């Protein structure tokens, strides 16, 4: 049965954080495991992530509550491409970006589903605390049809910086209602430094330089009404493998 909500997780060599968050998040949402799925896409990790997932989550993998996918198609980290890939392969009617260092909170998926029931389908839910740098700015939830329509995160950006706020602003510009839900019971994250965030990104720019560059692109696009990114086609759609090493067919 198609899930109502997908938590979309990306990872490259962050096993040390996934160890802390994944089991907790699965347990915190297990009551609704018939309505929720977790999509974890691994972009060429060599830190033992694959083995750890297979060794520790067989029941969740077998049931489809957790889907683990792997690809070598993104050798250098690019946040927009990575997030788009996880969202593309998700099946839920509601897509929630969940960075690998984020916690959903107890029944966090039900909390988001209830918010959509309250505010309607044409909204974007932002679980941002309001404090930049605490890891919550990327917690964005939207209907899958809206995500597809807008072309996802902008892959023309530098690898890191401003991709989340640009996405939110484009949703607002096409008419979605912006709903801020900063409740810290549902948006906590493991602290990261920007050095950690960009370690696998292929850019000569610093994080601040990438951020400013992407802000400039975003501003120009918004002023000129370019709201659909990537010509509507986003994410990696080939050479995606599941936890058994089986290639996943085109969606």
Q: What is the DSSP letter of 98?
A: -
Task: Give pLDDT, residue 9.
Answer: 98
Residues in the chain: 251
Coil, strand or helix at 109: helix
Residue 40: helix, strand or coil by DSSP? Answer: strand
Give the number of other CB atoms < 10 A from CB of residue 248.
Answer: 16
Residue 146's nearest CA partner among 125, 130, 162, 117 is: 125
Q: Give the model's pLDDT for residue 1.
A: 79
- b/e for 45-62, b at 16 or more Cβ within 10 A? beeebbeebeeebeebbe
Per-residue confidence (pLDDT) for residue 250, from 0 to 100: 64
pTM of the model: 0.96
Please measure the distance between the N-terminal and C-terminal CA atoms of the chain and give it in whole angstroms: 16
**Distance of alpha carbon 199 from alpha carbon 44, whole angstroms:** 14
Strand partners for 124: 178
Contact (Cβ atoms closer than 8 angstroms) between residue 12 and residue 81:
no
**Which residue's structure tokens are 């050479």?**
239
Tens digit of each residue's pLDDT, the chain (251 residues): 799 999 999 999 999 999 999 999 999 999 999 999 999 999 999 999 999 999 999 999 999 999 999 999 999 999 999 999 999 999 999 999 999 999 999 999 999 999 999 999 999 999 999 999 899 999 999 999 999 999 999 999 999 999 999 999 999 999 999 999 999 999 999 988 777 777 788 788 999 999 999 999 999 999 999 999 999 899 999 999 999 999 997 66
From 86, 3, 100, select the one nearest 52 (Cα to Cα).
100
pLDDT of residue 249: 75
pLDDT of residue 251: 62
H helix intervals, 90-176: 108-119, 144-150, 163-173
Whole-angstrom Cα distance, residue 16 to residue 90? 24
């Amino acid at each position: 049965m198609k899930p109502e909500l997908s938590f979309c997780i990306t990872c490259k060599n962050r096993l040390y954080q996934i160890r802390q968050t994944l089991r907790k998040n699965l347990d915190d949402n297990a009551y609704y495991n018939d309505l929720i799925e977790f999509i974890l896409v691994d972009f060429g990790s060599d830190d033992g992530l694959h083995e750890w997932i297979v060794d520790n989550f067989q029941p969740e993998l077998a049931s489809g509550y957790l889907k683990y996918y792997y690809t070598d198609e993104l050798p250098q980290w690019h946040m927009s491409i990575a997030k788009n890939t996880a969202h593309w392969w998700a099946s839920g009617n509601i897509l929630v970006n969940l960075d690998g260092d984020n916690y959903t909170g107890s029944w966090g998926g039900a909390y988001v589903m209830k918010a959509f029931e309250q505010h309607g389908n044409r909204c974007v839910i932002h679980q941002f605390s309001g404090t930049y740098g605490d890891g919550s700015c990327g917690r964005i939830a939207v209907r899958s049809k809206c995500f597809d329509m807008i072309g996802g995160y902008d892959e023309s950006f530098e690898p890191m910086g401003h991709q989340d706020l640009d996405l939110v602003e484009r949703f607002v510009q096409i008419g979605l209602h912006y709903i801020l839900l900063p409740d810290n019971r549902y948006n906590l994250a493991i602290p990261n430094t920007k050095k950690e965030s960009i370690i696998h990104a292929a850019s000569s720019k610093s994080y601040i330089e990438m951020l400013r560059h992407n802000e400039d692109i975003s501003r120009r696009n918004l002023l000129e009404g370019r709201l659909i990114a990537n010509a509507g086609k986003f994410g990696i759609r080939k050479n995606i493998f599941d936890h058994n090493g089986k290639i996943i067919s085109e969606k």
